[in-house]
Amino acid sequence: MRGRPTVYEDANIVKKAQEVFWQKGYSATSLSDLQKATGAGAGSFYNTFKGGKKEVFQKAIEERRLAFDTFKTELSKSESPLELIKDFFRSIASSEENEHLKGCIIANTVVEMTFIDENLEANAVQILKEVEQMFTQAIKNEKLKGNLKTQTDPEILGRYLITFWCGLNTLRRMYPDKNVLKNQIEMQLAVIS
């Protein structure tokens, strides 16, 4: 193939841009921030992403969706899917401080973009609903196997978990503390049993 070789690959730019967006959100992240973080100048940046800042943000969100999809696949292979979900929540407690403060980029986007960008907002909401659906399905399956004592509708329990997820991502900014979070997570997961 002809042409000057690519130094700043798409995937690498998205990865580094994601970190900045995750911390600062969409509006507060400037092109200058992204150029510093990725190393790419304006030339490379707009050559790679004709859609500019917004396209990179969408790609960063999309990458996060893929991470959730990976988990979904693991879940479908798991022998104890509900334990896998619970362990996912439990693992949050022992994150590093910076991870606590960052929260969830999808939940952050829902909060930030509601009155700013309809598409970005709707997309983030959609992803949260997919995660919720994943929770709900796992709970349904477990219930069919007779592994659940609770009589609560799996749909309600799925929404309970996505609500917890969003709440937890604010709680960990209030208390970026392993012990506090561990206690809260165990208490909330006890509802699903």
Partner DNA sequence: TTATTTTTGTAATGATTGATACATAAATAG
Partner DNA sequence: CTATTTATGTATCAATCATTACAAAAATAA
Q: Where does this chain bind a copy of itself (CB under 8 A)?
A: 23-25, 27-28, 101-103, 107-108, 110-112, 114-116, 125, 128-129, 132, 152, 156, 159-160, 162-171, 173-175, 180, 183-184, 187-188, 191
- What are the C-alpha distances in Å from 32 to residues 35, 38, 39, 56? 5, 10, 10, 14
Q: Which C-beta is closer to DNA: that of 6 or that of 76?
A: 6
Q: Which stretch binds DNA (CB under 7 A): 28-36, 95-103, 131-139, 184-192?
A: 28-36
The least CB distance from residue 142 to DNA, in Å, is 45
Q: Which does 125 bind (CB under 5 to 8 A by kind): DNA, a copy of itself, none?
A: a copy of itself
Task: Select from DNA, a copy of itself, none the partner in contact with residue 67, using the beta carbon and a kind-dependent cut-off of 5 to 8 Å.
Answer: none
Residue 28, helix vs strand vs coil: coil
Q: How far apart are the first and last CA of the chain?
A: 58
Could you tell me where the DSSP H helices lie in the chain?
Answer: 10-24, 31-38, 42-48, 52-77, 81-93, 97-102, 105-113, 118-144, 154-174, 178-189
